Structure 1
């Protein structure tokens, strides 16, 4: 199974840098078996059945992108250098792993000042990352980060424009609750309260799980044999209530439809040991590619993904590689918008 098996030509003009407004006005490609239908996200209830259950990731994106000044004492006074910091994941004792540009200009023990009263000290450097210890903790840290930070847009958007005030709203789901992600579960960005109400009125139920999406979601696959790739780990939780709700829906014949690959990876992780959904908490590095046996997921709502990415492998596992390549060829031909702020697909496997 080669990396080139998951490649396709994507015109640069199809990469979305802003989301549709309103959210539910984004386009929706529905692939049910071999049939493809062009629709709009607000029409999603037409494709759902009473008794289905949508699984939603309730992680909340933190404003993890910080700009600051490295402060270095010297015999002639302080010297300063600009630093761009992206928080990656929390570490024990209130520290954070972070990407820093330029890392070579920051020494262990040196301090970065982000705002008056808000700074961090570099405690370690390894493998292109640093560990930062902030001068604030708990609610004080959260409040300072909200004031000083920017939303960590994906690299393919950041290369085209900087994050701004609109992204504080656009890059957050309407049900975001548990802080910790540095990337959004982007399929969920298409939902607004009106759409949720219409879905509920259809007799469809909702279950919330948590997977804190990490920056590793954007890492490229660097091996030619994809089976040799090792996924990054992300923290998640399926509560006892969530597992019970999902199990009850499956027992009654309803479909389990995760909204986004993060929710899918989490519930499949929670079913790996026993083959049935169970409460689970921890770090998952599950890698889903063709040949994977799905234990919980019956369909998937997701955005359109990067060529040669692990997410292309995941949707290929669900729908079959040849079928997903036809779906993506249709999406390109019909000029669907791709990636985090792009349009959506509803993938329903079938014969």
Structure 2
């Protein structure tokens, strides 16, 4: 879906010029496909056709087999990140892609335990990521912050280790603590001690919930983990009382329409209940999740809101505001981006063709 198509055909404002924040992007999943191929060749990593010629892969996580395939492809992609230079390249290109799409603030999520064995351990890897993020921010003008995420398929004690790691870097580039991977695995309440550690350092609680397992997991993330934002959270639309609670509490839903469809949560983009959660008053921040596997970046999510769900420019500006207001961006960055949203909406739209 291209910006040119939506702007020229509909006489609507350019979505690339709409200031926004990106709050749901995974580390390896942010990699450009061309970079994946370059690094695979450089490090002699054999990639399956689904990541080389047949990209983007056809995916589904509707059952255990489907999730296993998704995770296998993600792990293969992660395996090409072997050196410090690879990490720096990934973060620089991620920030460049954000800048090209009008995003002025990025919170990228990473589980250091998935990379530390090749890059000096989880502390050394986190130091590297934060330094690379700072350099990428300086180079592009996009603020880049880090969310450290635990893996819900691993033991909750591992999550406590990562929470303590995150606390070490609170105020130095790490802004949140998350819980990712297949939400049908693990018991959410067992991860509560890890989130208590992170919350004491004023890190945002940003677990995944309310997608693969449904609204019950979103509610557990609120009750047990004190979630400030919900990674996905889209299936809270199935429980009106829960959705009302989310809206009243100002919890941000990090809605990722393309990944919802790619993973088989909804059959088509039109089936994603974006309009329902928006109409209920929930704060929504659109996200791309894993562009490397889904073939769809942040701008595409705004295009989907416009072209599939009928969001007018004032509503699209509201989505952008939600992403900024739900972020951990500093006050000055937040003000600059919000002022930019107002200016975008105040500007005259181009004439229709």
TM over 0.5: no
Q: TM-score, normalised by structure 2?
A: 0.31
Q: TM-score, normalised by structure 1?
A: 0.31
Higher relative contact order (CA 8 A, sep 6+): 1
